[in-house]
Copies of this chain bind each other. A is one copy, B any other.
Amino acid sequence: MRGYTFYQRASRAFQDYPSLSKLVVVFTVSSGGLVAFSDAKPFRGAYADAVQCDRKKKKVVSPRNYFAFTPLLPSVTIGTVEARSVVEPIRNIVRKYHGLHHCRVSMFPRLQSASEKDFDVQFREAECLRIDAKNKKVYCQSNQESNLGGKEEFTVDYDYLVIAMGARSNTFNTPGVVENCHFLKEVEDAQRIRRTVIDCFERASLPSVSEEEKKKILHFVVVGGGPTGVEFAAELHDFVVEDLAKLYPAVKDHVKITLLEAGDHILNMFDKRITAFAEEKFQRDGISVKTGSMVIKVTDKEISTKERKTGETLSVPYGMVVWSTGIGTRPVIMEFMKQIGQGNAQKESTELNIEGFKSALSEVDSQMKNLPATAQVAAQQGAYLANCFNRMDECEKHPEGPMRIRGSGHHRFRPFRYKHLGQFAPLGGEQAAAQLPGDWVSIGHSTQWLWYSVYASKLVSWRTRMLVISDWGKRFIFGRDSSRI
């Protein structure tokens, strides 16, 4: 499970710890935004009279009004799961912890009556442009044009700031990638990929298109042999074989799926047995895996690679390229890290004083660098952070962290410890591989069922859980939908 990096923290903080009351948190969402809790100070808007915030309320800011369970995005690209089944409105989530006392009711929000008092959290749909660490301000901008022209801008003050913005796709500055490739970070990306796949099949079916052109149009290239790239290639292959081949029999033989990996093997973070199984399975399935092949340029028609073994440069025409070679830090975060001097965060962790909480956050972040950017890590960090917030007063009096090296006493919080529970790699054809702690490896159909149950259990709400499970059922009965919407 990977992808929803920092945000799950936030979501967990909401769900598990309803009693947060004396804090100001700003965290950013996996979908590229910023979520802010603010307790001490109200929003400062352009219209002073419009500010009528409850001073007790925390603030959440995100450019999207929903939380997306990104580990299921590869399934959304080809319609195994619907986009709407993996998202939950943030307002539902922040409302939920009232519902915790009435569990049955929170499962059925329609039956619940609500008033403004039900919300301890105020949500704003906006993007975080800049963080001013010195003055503790977050500068936000709405995604929408206002009636007066231009986009609404406002600032949020904070006492405590949680950044859970997620990462951006890393193109390694390869020319033409941003312009010509699809990414797989957001729900919109997945929807766009789905439409593009159908577009390619429809275009290849036109009578005026030559055989050679059909082959180009139906050449799907996946760049990056990590878990996301492998899962997408496998899902696409299943979609083609199980569904599209029946609806587009005239062009089905022209389809080619190529997986490009710069390293020696795909899934190189997994056990060798899994890598070998995946490579063999892909070969049997007809997915062309090219390792040691580094993409150096993408134009609107061709993708160019440099082959490590031979040193030669190859160019192949394509119909669609999906780029998933890893993630990078968002510019707004880089700027913020510079402000708070996170380049040398290790130093700071020895000084523990008035900046107590900030430092605890730095500590988390400094450790993060060594942890994989997966949903599993993010979820555990979310729980840890919420726990820290909830026990802040208590820990002030009774520090529970490790002994200080300089000075006396303890650190305020125990440091975050990541507990690795294993990792999945779905390989298509109702087969998956799993690497469990202690070098246990499980591969095959039963592992796919394990995958189904783990993913269903990790979904953010009962609603999405039911929707995803019913999507899986629908796919089994009716196949995937090929309507271009």
**Does A207 touch B at the CB level, under 8 Å?**
yes
Could you tell me if B247 and A89 are in contact, using CB atoms closer than 8 angstroms?
A: yes
Contact with B along A243-255 (1 / 0, CB 8 A): 1011111100000
Query: Chain B residues with Cβ under 8 A from A463's Cβ?
Result: 478
Interchain CB contact (< 8 A) of A188 among B113, B210, B485: B485
A243 to B91, CA, bound (A): 11
Query: Chain B residues with Cβ under 8 A from A66's Cβ?
Result: 483-485
Interchain CB contact (< 8 A) of A483 among B43, B89, B124, B213: B89
Q: How many copies does the complex hold?
A: 2
**Does A277 touch B at the CB level, under 8 Å?**
no
A453 to B478, CA, bound (A): 22
**With contacts A108-B478, A208-B46 known, is A144 near B203, CB below 8 A?**
yes
Query: Chain B residues with Cβ under 8 A from A9's Cβ?
Result: none
**With contacts A64-B484, A83-B485 known, is A108 near B477, CB below 8 A?**
yes
Interface size on A, residues (CB 8 A): 85
- Which residues 200-215 of A sit at the B interface, judged by CB distance below 8 A? 202-203, 205-211, 213
Interchain CB contact (< 8 A) of A210 among B50, B87, B213: B50
Could you tell me if A43 and B207 are in contact, using CB atoms closer than 8 angstroms?
A: yes
Could you tell me if A216 and B147 are in contact, using CB atoms closer than 8 angstroms?
A: yes
**Does A136 touch B at the CB level, under 8 Å?**
no
Could you tell me if B50 and A247 are in contact, using CB atoms closer than 8 angstroms?
A: no
Interchain CB contact (< 8 A) of A208 among B153, B198, B209, B477: B153
Interchain CB contact (< 8 A) of A92 among B114, B144, B203, B247: B247
**Does A88 touch B at the CB level, under 8 Å?**
yes
The stretch of A115-123, A369-377, A421-429 in contact with B is: A115-123
Query: Chain B residues with Cβ under 8 A from A242's Cβ?
Result: 110
Could you tell me if B467 and A47 are in contact, using CB atoms closer than 8 angstroms?
A: no
Could you tell me if B109 and A478 are in contact, using CB atoms closer than 8 angstroms?
A: yes
Q: Output the least CB separation between A446 and chain B (Å).
A: 22
Nearest 10 pairs of A and B residues by beta carbon: A43-B207, A66-B483, A45-B208, A114-B246, A45-B207, A116-B249, A110-B479, A125-B202, A46-B208, A91-B247
27 A–B contacts, CB within 8 A, in A order: A43-B208, A46-B208, A47-B208, A47-B209, A47-B210, A49-B211, A50-B208, A64-B484, A65-B483, A65-B484, A83-B485, A84-B481, A88-B483, A89-B483, A108-B478, A110-B476, A116-B249, A119-B249, A125-B203, A126-B206, A146-B203, A147-B301, A147-B317, A152-B203, A187-B485, A191-B485, A470-B470
Other CB < 8 Å A-B pairs besides A65-B202, A124-B207, A191-B485, 11 of them? A53-B207, A65-B482, A66-B483, A82-B84, A89-B483, A114-B247, A118-B246, A146-B203, A147-B213, A147-B217, A147-B301
